[in-house]
Structure formats: structure tokens, C-alpha cells
Amino acid sequence: MFALKTLRLETGASALPALRLIAAAALALTLAACSKPAVKVEDVRPVRAIVLSSSNVDVSAELSGEVVPRVVSQLGFRVGGKIVARKVDVGATVKKGQVLMQLDPVDLQLSQAQAKASLVSSETSRDLARAELKRYQDLREKNFVSQAVLDGKDATYKAAQANVEAAQALYRGQANQSGYASLLADVDGVVTRIEAEVGQVVAPGAPVVQVARSGEKEVVIGIPEDKVETLRGVKDVVVRLWADPKQGLPGKIREVSPVADAATRTYIAKVSIPDAPHVRLGMTAVVQFASQTATPQIKVPLTALFNEKSQSSVWVVENGAVKLVPVTVGGVAGNELLLASGVKAGQTVVTAGVNLLKPGQKVTILGAELASKPDVAAAAVTVGAAK
């Protein structure tokens, strides 16, 4: 490769180091001239992945609630007045027709007496008008009075009769109002709230006592937004009391609110349960749901989700490389996510190693899935041989 213009050889032991240096330099130059650039090995990351499929998903949920009466009556007096007696306390069991509270009846009794006096007066006037009409009818038959005078007496009698009927109606109304001084229970039940006390003046219709009807009970629960559509179609559920979780009661969803509660942002549902002596108002209960989604769903493990700038995404494998695809999570089923949009059945999604990937990253799939992808397997073998 090169020529030495002058090479001075000296005899003896002093010439050996010089010869060794020259030989080493020549060897280094030869190797440098013959070397080629190193082959760059492509970075291929091993990942685990699944092929997506859609199917009806079993959905189970447990939601806690409270046992409440199905029918609650807010009772109030039909007339206004001052409360003079309260006959029941909260928690008292009452029967239909039982007196709950009483108003001061004096004013009502005076009004009734006034109506009675008015009725008697109108009846007296009517009787007088009727007798006078009878006399004028006799006089008319003898032509002692004209027909016009008789007609006037007849009109007077009819007006007096109308006054009597009006007075009778007024008296009946006042008699009813006197009876309204006592507030009666309209059904058998339990007193759950007292809204007014003795000495308080209340207006007509103002609630003073709350009574829960006996027998019919239900559990009120709040369904989260992500489960309401799935659970809306469920009818039969199992209800377990916190005080006795081993015993399950059959329940039926009677009603699901069409709008979310403004405070809790949940949809209120009412579950009817059979009447049982050990089920008491105010108890905590757990409602267990078990159903399937109405339409096929795509589900992936929780580990497949990758958050990029607050956007839920998954890594989709195509041609041995990955790309980031935004998705919409529709719900949770156990340890899996239900994807509402973004991917479709048949696509391959990475389920492990998602935080180590970048768009366009070459990957090799580990596990049993590798055998079903010959092109990816061949690439993995080639890379392994190169290494």
C-alpha cells in the first residue's frame, strides 16, 4: 500500500524496536483502508397484542341505595287555623281515619252557626212567600186580583226558594269545614315527618304531616352515566340488605329517571321489593345487576389504553409497525374497557408495552399471536439472526 523511501537498518539489538513500530503502522493503515461502514440494526420492540372482536358483553354492577316507601303522602289541613293538638310522633304507626292533628274549631263553629241561622231565615222567608202565593192564587180565581199581581207573588216565592237552596249549600260547606279542623290519616302507614307544631298558624293545604303507606317499599339508587343505557333494559335484579347480606330479595326496576340528578349527576332508579317484616324504611341496600349489552361491543384490557394529551388512544399494529388511534371509552366491564368508537373488529391492538412505543415503531408480537402472523414472525427471526 505504501513505499518507504529510505529504510535504514541497523544491526544489533537497537534495530528491533524500530522495525516493530514500522510493522504496526503498516498494519493499522492496511486495516483502515479495507474497513466498511457498520450495518445499522433496526430497533424492533417486542409487545403483546390481541386481535379485536365484537360480542355482547356481560355487564354486572352493584349499586347501593336506601329503602324508602313507594307512596308518601304530604298531609295538610283543608282549612287554615291554629294548631291546638298533635296526636302522633315520628315513627308512629297509624290507621286510616285516625286523628293526626287538630285546629282550633271555634272560628269554624261560629261560621257554621252563622250559616245555620242564614238557612233558617231563608226558609222562613220562603214559607211566607209560599203562603202568600197560595192566598193570591185563591183571589185570582175569584178575579179579585190581576194576573200580573199573581205572577209577582210567584216570582217572589221562587226567589225565596232559591235563597233557601243557596243557604243550604253554604251551611253544608261550613259544616264540612268544621270537620276539617281534624286532620285524619287517609291510609294505613307510618309517620315519617312532622312539619308543624302546636301553636303554629297554618294556611290551607300547607303540609304538616308526612305519612308513608304501609306494605309497599322500594330501593332508590343512582345509576352512573356510563351504565344507564346498559342497565335501563334490565328488569329483574337482586337486592341485599346491608344488615343481612346473605339473604337476597327479588327486585324489579320500576322506574329510571330520563334526566340526571342535578347534584349527583346520576340517574335515579326505583327498585320495587316484596314486603317483608325485616325490611325497614331507611335501611341501606345493595342492588345487584347482571345483563348483557344490547349491541355487540369491542373490549380491550385496561393495559391497552394510552393517554396522549388527555385523549384516550390505543396502539394499532399494521404491517409490523404501530400507529396511535384515538378511541372513545364507552364503559368498563371488569378489567376490560368497552370501546365505543375509534377501532373495529379485526384490527390488532397492543396490550402491553404501550408506554415504550412511538408512532411508526416497528414491533414484534410475543406469545401465541406470533404464530398467526407469518410476516411478523419472519421479520423477528431475521432481526434475531442479524443480532
Domain that holds residue 240: 60-70+216-292
- The answer as to whether 159 is a domain residue is yes
- The answer as to whether 147 is a domain residue is yes
- The answer as to whether 1 is a domain residue is no
205, 83: one domain: yes
Q: What is the CATH number of the domain that holds 140?
A: 1.10.287.470
Backbone angles phi, psi at 260, to 5 degrees: -75, 150
Q: What pLDDT is attached to residue 126?
A: 94
- The answer as to whether 360 is a domain residue is yes
- The answer as to whether 20 is a domain residue is no
Q: What pLDDT is attached to residue 336?
A: 84
222, 249: one domain: yes
Q: What is the CATH number of the domain that holds 228?
A: 2.40.30.170
- The answer as to whether 2 is a domain residue is no
Instruction: Give one DSSP letter per residue of 295-307, joined into a string.
Output: S-EEEEEGGG-EE
300, 379: one domain: yes
C-alpha cell at 155: 216570582
Q: What pLDDT is attached to residue 285?
A: 94
140, 268: one domain: no
- The answer as to whether 4 is a domain residue is no
Per-residue pLDDT of the chain (387 residues; tens, 9 = 90+): 444 444 444 444 445 555 565 555 555 555 554 555 555 556 788 989 999 988 877 667 789 999 999 999 999 999 999 999 999 999 999 999 999 999 999 988 898 999 999 999 999 999 999 999 999 999 989 888 899 999 999 999 999 999 999 999 999 998 988 889 999 999 999 999 999 999 999 999 999 999 999 888 999 999 998 788 878 778 889 999 998 888 889 999 999 999 999 899 999 999 999 888 889 888 999 999 877 666 778 889 999 999 888 889 999 999 989 999 999 887 777 788 888 888 989 999 999 888 889 899 899 888 644 433 333 333 333 333 333
80, 197: one domain: yes
- The answer as to whether 114 is a domain residue is yes
Strands 311-318 and 93-94: unpaired
Our count of domains for the chain comes to: 4
Q: What is the CATH number of the domain that holds 192?
A: 2.40.50.100
89, 188: one domain: yes
* Pairwise CA distance, residues 356 & 45, whole Å: 8
Instruction: Give one DSSP letter per residue of 115-174, joined into a string.
Output: HHHHHHHHHHHHHHHHHHHHHHHHHHHTTSS-HHHHHHHHHHHHHHHHHHHHHHHHHHHH
Residue where one domain finishes, among candidates 244, 260, 292: 292
206, 240: one domain: no
Strands 311-318 and 348-352: antiparallel
Residues comprising the chain, all counted: 387
